Structures are given as structure tokens and as C-alpha cells.
Amino acid sequence: MAVEFARLGASVAVASRRAEHQAAGVEAVLAAGGKAAAVTVDVRDPESVAAAFDDAENALGPVTVLVNNAAGNFPVPAEDLSPKGWRAVTDIVLDGTFSALRNSPAGAIAAGGGAAS
């Protein structure tokens, strides 16, 4: 998705907890002729999410599109998934999605914080 956005002229913030994921994403966007920035984020931490949006905007300008694809995957039968594993999945997939949307420019608009440009 990041490469296609870059091919269409978008600047792309590649956000991840892991530097190697950020580097691979940025490299792919640059190879497609786009502009990219690496942003560190842990979607389980709302403050980290808010800081990531600030970092992305400082590097690339206003965020106008959010592709929220963070996931926690444990490919095991449900009966073998521990409660800790389940919490990791819900912290990332459910709480992380909520936090990203809540902290995104669209979330600010919905809360009465301004309009999109």
C-alpha cells in the first residue's frame, strides 16, 4: 500500500516499533520515487501514537490518510492461545486501532478540533 501511495505522489510515514520494518518500508517508498519518513510507534501506547502523528507531520506535513494495519498474530488454535497472548492481540488490534483513529486528524475533526485541508 505504501508503495502504491508513493507512486501516486503521496508522502508516506512508515510507522513501526521496529527499526528494520521502518527501514524496509522507507526503502521501498523511495525506490518507487516517493518521499518517506520513518516514525517509531507502539500502537498499544496512546502517547506513542500521538507522538507518532506529530513526528509524521513534522517530517512530511499534514497527515491526510491513515492506513491502520498494525496486527498481533499468534497462529495457534484458540484453545492454545494464552490469556496474555489474547491481551496482546486486543491491545494491538482493538486498542491500537482506536488510539490511532482517535489521535488522527480525522479523529480531531470528529471531536470538533478542526477541518481537513
pLDDT tens digits for range 95-113: 988 888 888 876 555 555 5
How far is residue 72 CA from its own chain's centroid? 13
Enter the pTM of the model: 0.81
Name which residue leads in pLDDT, 75 or 11.
11
Predicted confidence (pLDDT) at residue 8 exceeds the cutoff of 70:
yes
Distance CA 25, CA 85 (A): 27
Q: What is the mean pLDDT of residues 51-79?
A: 89
Q: pLDDT for 28-43, tens place per residue? A: 999 999 999 999 999 9
Residues 66 and 107 sit within 8 Å (Cβ to Cβ): no
Average pLDDT, the chain: 88
- Structure confidence at residue 2 (pLDDT): 94
- CB neighbour list of residue 60: distance below 8 Å, 6 or more residues apart: 11, 12, 13, 35, 37
pLDDT of residue 29: 97
